[in-house]
Structure 1
Amino acid sequence: MVNNGLGFNVATSEYLTRAMHYFNSKYQNVKFVISSLDVPWTKANMPNNTHLIYTSYPKREIVVATLALCNHTITTVGSFGWWIGWLTGGEVTYFKWPAKEGTFLRTQYSKDYSDFFYPGWIGT
């Protein structure tokens, strides 16, 4: 979603670090499976002190099936991550402020985004 022009806020590297720390502190031998349309940005913004696996499947269906088999999910912004979080069924973290203020996209959500994020998900 970098330079998307739609009004999305890009999840920060600080958010990714907090979310990864959350799972690393709670579980043992954590491996993060990452899917991104912008792998160079992702590699530049992910913490280097953990086990990262990048997917590079050409079809979305394969990516969805692969990520849905994971135990938990760190979402960034957009509907793709939301659906992966829903399908995974484990713990899900989300970036609390996915839309830029003053954009049309922001008007599509409630004030606190409670209409978009599942109540059991963890906003960081």
Structure 2
Amino acid sequence: MGLFRSRYKNVYFVVCSDDIKWARKHLRGGDILFVTNNTPAVDMAILASCNHVIVSNGTFSWWVGWLCTGITVRYRWMPKYDSYMYNMTRGEYWPTNDTYNHYVAIDSD
């Protein structure tokens, strides 16, 4: 969030989550909108239509990042080595910064 706040004026974050209680507890700022009570398909459509996205580790986020045409921020070590998702995909399907210039990989929060 700091990356976008430092790069752009008038930033607004739209948060869709299957754990909105956790998101409300840990994400702070007057520039955040928590979206609730939608189907996953509607959440995906909302997020994919945003200018940029910050994604978590999971297939839902993978698709949101793939569909978004702006910057996609992801955790660098995603999927985690030897995790179910890593073994299922051999770690090949999360683009690196070099593969697509709209992906930005970060090391920590």
Query: Shorter-chain TM-score: what band?
Result: 0.7 to 0.9
RMSD over aligned Cα atoms: 1.9
Q: 1:21 to 1:105 in 2, by over 3 A?
A: same
Give unmatched runs, 5+ long, in structure 1: 1-19
Greater RCO (CA < 8 Å, at least 6 residues apart) = 1
SS of aligned partner of 2:76: coil
User: Normalization by structure 1: what TM-score?
Assistant: 0.70
Name the counterpart of 2:94. Answer: 117
Q: Deviations over 1:50-73 (max 9, x none)?
A: 511111133122112211211001
C-alpha contact (below 8 Å) 2:72/2:104 kept by paired residues: yes
State the Cα distance separating 1:24 from its structure 2 match.
0.7
What percentage of aligned pairs have identical amino acids?
A: 28
Name the counterpart of 1:27. Answer: 8
User: Residue 68 in 1 paired to residue 48 in 2?
Assistant: yes
C-alpha contact (below 8 Å) 1:57/1:63 kept by paired residues: no
Matches within 5 A, 1:44-59: 44-46=25-27, 48-59=28-39
Matches within 5 A, 1:3-42: 20-42=1-23
Q: Which aligned segments of 4 or more residues in structure 1 are displaced greater than 2 angstroms?
A: 97-110
